Amino acid sequence: MNMDLQEAHDLLKPLFEERLLKEMLQFGELKRFPEGEVIMDYGKYVRSMPLILKGTIKVFRQEEDKEILLYYLSDQETCSMAYSCCMEARKSEVKAIADEDVFLLSIPHQKLDEWLCTFPSWKNYIMRSFNVRFIDLLKSLEQIAFHRLDERLENYLREKSSRSGSALIHLSHQ
């Protein structure tokens, strides 16, 4: 299955003004990542910001030999870490993996700051994204600090089921 520019336009239309949408589709690149594929990896420079059109991405952080799920990203969301890395030309401190097939619009770093100053809907989108990710991180911290492992596992499975829209979850014990 593929996605065309018109479908991308229709998905993003509720979020952005028409002039910005035109630029996004002109300068952005439509990409597809199959389930399990790494989209962003530790220590790699991030040259573009992914704006998810369809699908779900898991974002992880690793310290030594341990890796922790920070949050999920799904339809019409973006990774604040990717935005920050693009703006500061620095390497990624997180790993993003397609949790299911993902279609995204890859926005080149050269446009991020320009659009922030030019388009109110882009500025609002970016600020809202940072706020949502911050709340997600607070929830993750709360889970780790205040909930037992079995409660965290149950919450993870409920979230996974909710995001997939199915009570059937395909996972291994790992």
pLDDT number for residue 57: 95
pTM as predicted: 0.79
Q: What is the pLDDT of residue 173?
A: 62
Tens digits of residue pLDDT in 28-46 = 999 999 999 999 999 999 9
3-state secondary structure of 63: strand
**Which amino acid appears at position 166 of this protein?**
S
Give residue 153's pLDDT band: very low, low, confident or very high (50, 70, 90): confident
Q: What is the pLDDT of residues 52-91, one digit of tens each?
A: 999 999 999 988 888 888 889 999 999 888 999 988 989 9
In the numeric block, which tokens belong to residue 144?
């780790």
Task: Give residue 1's pLDDT.
Answer: 64
Burial degree of 51 (CB within 10 A; 0-12, 13-18, 19+)? buried
Q: What is the pLDDT of residues 78-128, one digit of tens each?
A: 988 899 998 898 999 999 999 999 999 999 999 999 999 999 999 999 999
The pLDDT-based confidence of 148 (bands split at 50, 70, 90) is: confident
